[in-house]
Structure 1
Amino acid sequence: MDAIETDVAIIGAGPVGLFAVFECGMLRMRSVLIDALDAVGGQCTALYPEKPIYDIPAHPAIEAAGLVDALERQIAPFAAPRLLGQRVERLEGGPGDFTLGTDAGRTVRARAVIVAAGAGAFGPNRPPLDGLAAYEARGGVQYYVRRREDLRGKRVVIAGGGDSAVDWALALADIAQVAVVHRRAKFRAAPESAAKLDAAAAAGRIEMVIPYQLHALHGADGQLSAVEVATLDGATRLLPADVLLPFYGLSMDLGPIASWGAALDRHHLRVDPATAATSLPGVFAIGDIATYPGKLKLILQGFSEAAVAAHAIHPLVFPGEALHFEYSTTSGVPAG
């Protein structure tokens, strides 16, 4: 297959990577999206498409899948090619002349690279329980809620103390029988969400199982019937369950990106916040994979970083050409 020629190769097709297509397009720069997942949207699509997001400007609330759909419409004029279901394994060259190779045998030649890969490849942290795989195969143990309605009328045990555990307990309380298992009374979720959880528990809408941890799974032929939990002192109890949702976070893997020689800070790419540039000339990083003093892991901050990176890349694509900053209300959207 012929190599794809472009101005900017964007690694990662989550919300921030999608918006980078828009920001590059507004500066008349072509881009290509590459993602290991087989659909755009990153974690918003793969992990929580129906989960509402509350801190996107002008949207008091928007479901993750709705945000991805809106971004798709926004970047449609730029017709950026997508290489989905494949991972970038090789990066060669330098500013103005990069060559990227994927594990599917595709080649992309670009003048600059934007890494918007979230925190790299991700997967759930699985609880160490006997027979786990069999229950996963039958849907008794799930790590993501793709359709809230699928859990209507179910007995759902949620394990964990972070935002995902609390948010889904609240989201499912009106349609399912929900029990929340946590090793201590204090939760790591946003204070407002934790307060709502306490209120729901006080109203009898959610059962709080504290201080307990997951201990064993019970059922037959991979069909879950109960979750056994235990205290640190060894006291156990059985919770009737059709579905267990263990929310213990994601295990992150930068994969080949870690071997490219860019400066890292705790498995993140260190960047200059003024340009989003990494220590590798011509390679920029935005979104959750990028770090700098004062960094906030928010989608809206990633959107800002996409604009910063696009403006910093412009001289690499159009050397010697002055960039006159214009508001979109003045310039409009360039034709693709």
Structure 2
Amino acid sequence: MADATHPAVAHEAAITADVAVIGAGPTGLFAVFECGMLRMKCVVIDTLEAIGGQCAALYPEKPIYDIPAHPAIAGAELIARLEEQAQPFAPIYLMGRRVDALAEDGEGGFVLRTSQGEQVRAKAVIIAAGAGAFGPNRPPLAGLEAFEATGAVRYMVSRREELRGKRVVIAGGGDSAVDWALSLKDVAARVTVVHRRPKFRAAPESVAQMEAAAERGEIDLAIPYQLHGLEGAEGELDHVVLATLKGEERRVPADHLLAFFGLSMELGPIAEWGLGLERSHITVNPATLETSRPGIHAIGDIATYPGKLKLILQGFSEAAMAAHAIHPRIFPGEALHFEYSTSKGVPLG
């Protein structure tokens, strides 16, 4: 990794923006809007292939109840609305990339290097990385990569319609497994839930609904089984092989395997940036959300300060505060006269 104070960074072919936002979850997307309202252009970098963070990866169709003005809104719908809100400001999205290095450029700004080799130059940085970079816990099955490549094995579902008429095996015992079993039973040709023991770690009401659906024959429960193997050719899945701890095997016809074994989360290179970590969180000034390094701010779940609440709505507030704190850095000497959006509208161009 490049040295934090003396980077060896080439200037050609760099992507430039006023603010680099690390994390494309709801807080990061709202930061794009808030920066845009102050005429600051953003580039957004995220390790996932699509925007949305945990809302998209874990509960795209599960309702969220604590978003103001929305008694209930699905995770995917919330992300779609935030993307639409940010769209007038034409953010640059760099998805499926990790920020491997962050260094000062000697001109009061920063240079970020991604895992794809891009260089991003920005005058300020907002870290909205949630709990850090995360990816699915993958089952140790032979030939898994070929089925992942075709989408036969998945760790998230964007739209349940993609699985209409399909034979689906769901592995896991948490909320994601139970919620998707209930959601897909009405559209999939067959839903089989695999779990190593009868007790699930999901909401009791949801578990009761799933068990009732199983009694009606709407869902098959394979208990106590674990994933043992995948059968198929050229990435097309035919069967999922299950096994008990005693070695008893069962072959389940399947077109898709949804593996919900949780996420592996880590701060990754962020931990090496000298930002004053406290139990894997970044300590910030609650008035500006600035970290121990001037020009680098942290918002959302990754940020910590006295009185911090891990709520999306607090992350939205932090995004606004960080954007206003960054404005003097982007426009030095320019007075910022705060105006409500109802009076100023959305500045375009």
Q: If the length of structure 2 is used for normalisation, what is the TM-score? A: 0.78
Q: Which amino acid aligns with 1:122?
A: F
Number of the residue aligned with 1:304: 317
Per-residue deviation, 1:248 = 0.8
What is the CA deviation profile of residues 266-318 of structure 1, one whole-angstrom value per residue up to 9, with x for unaligned ones? Answer: 44434444543333333111234334566555543422321232233345445
2:23 pairs with 1:12: yes
Per-residue deviation, 1:195 = 3.9
Number of the residue aligned with 2:164: 152
Go from structure 1 to structure 2 and tell me whether the alpha carbon gap of 1:234 and 1:88 turns closer, same or farther (over 3 Å shift): closer
Per-residue deviation, 1:45 = 8.7
Q: Secondary structure at the match of 1:97?
A: coil
For 1:87 and 1:269, the matched residues in 2 are separated by 18
Per-residue deviation, 1:182 = 1.8
Q: Which amino acid aligns with 2:23?
A: G
Q: 2:89 aligns with which of 78, 83, 91?
A: 78
Q: Which amino acid aligns with 1:212?
A: Y
154-163 or 271-280, which deviates more: 271-280
2:266 pairs with 1:258: no
Q: Which amino acid aligns with 1:146?
A: S
Per-residue deviation, 1:97 = 1.6
Q: Which amino acid aligns with 1:154?
A: K
Q: 1:131 aligns with which of 143, 163, 168?
A: 143
Number of the residue aligned with 1:175: 187
Does the 8 Å contact 1:54/1:61 carry over to 2? yes
Go from structure 1 to structure 2 and tell me whether the alpha carbon gap of 1:330 and 1:222 turns closer, same or farther (over 3 Å shift): closer
For 1:239 and 1:75, the matched residues in 2 are separated by 44
Cα root mean square deviation, aligned? 3.5
Q: Say how many residue pairs are matched.
A: 334
Q: Which amino acid aligns with 2:211?
A: D
Go from structure 1 to structure 2 and tell me whether the alpha carbon gap of 1:262 and 1:147 turns closer, same or farther (over 3 Å shift): same
Number of the residue aligned with 2:8: none
Q: Which amino acid aligns with 1:161?
A: G
Go from structure 1 to structure 2 and tell me whether the alpha carbon gap of 1:189 and 1:322 turns closer, same or farther (over 3 Å shift): farther
Structure 1 residues 178-327: aligned runs within 5 Å: 178-219=191-232, 222-291=235-304, 297-317=310-330, 326-327=339-340
Number of the residue aligned with 1:91: 102
Per-residue deviation, 1:95 = 11
For 1:144 and 1:281, the matched residues in 2 are separated by 37
Go from structure 1 to structure 2 and tell me whether the alpha carbon gap of 1:179 and 1:20 turns closer, same or farther (over 3 Å shift): same
What is the CA deviation profile of residues 229-272 of structure 1, one whole-angstrom value per residue up to 9, with x for unaligned ones? Answer: 33444444333323221111222343332221123344443444
For 1:324 and 1:194, the matched residues in 2 are separated by 53
Structure 2: tracts of 5 or more residues without a match: 1-11
Q: Secondary structure at the match of 2:109?
A: strand
Go from structure 1 to structure 2 and tell me whether the alpha carbon gap of 1:296 and 1:156 turns closer, same or farther (over 3 Å shift): farther
Q: What percentage of residue pairs aligned between the two structures are identical?
A: 61
Structure 1: tracts of 5 or more residues without a match: none
Does the 8 Å contact 1:94/1:281 carry over to 2? no
Q: Secondary structure at the match of 1:17?
A: helix
Q: Secondary structure at the match of 2:154?
A: coil
Structure 1 residues 41-56: aligned runs within 5 Å: 41-43=51-53, 47=57, 51-55=61-65, 56=67
Per-residue deviation, 1:87 = 4.2
Q: If the length of structure 1 is used for normalisation, what is the TM-score? A: 0.81
For 1:196 and 1:293, the matched residues in 2 are separated by 40
Q: Which amino acid aligns with 2:230?
A: L
Does the 8 Å contact 1:263/1:270 carry over to 2? yes
For 1:275 and 1:266, the matched residues in 2 are separated by 21
For 1:96 and 1:163, the matched residues in 2 are separated by 48
For 2:209 and 2:308, the matched residues in 1 are separated by 28
For 1:310 and 1:287, the matched residues in 2 are separated by 13
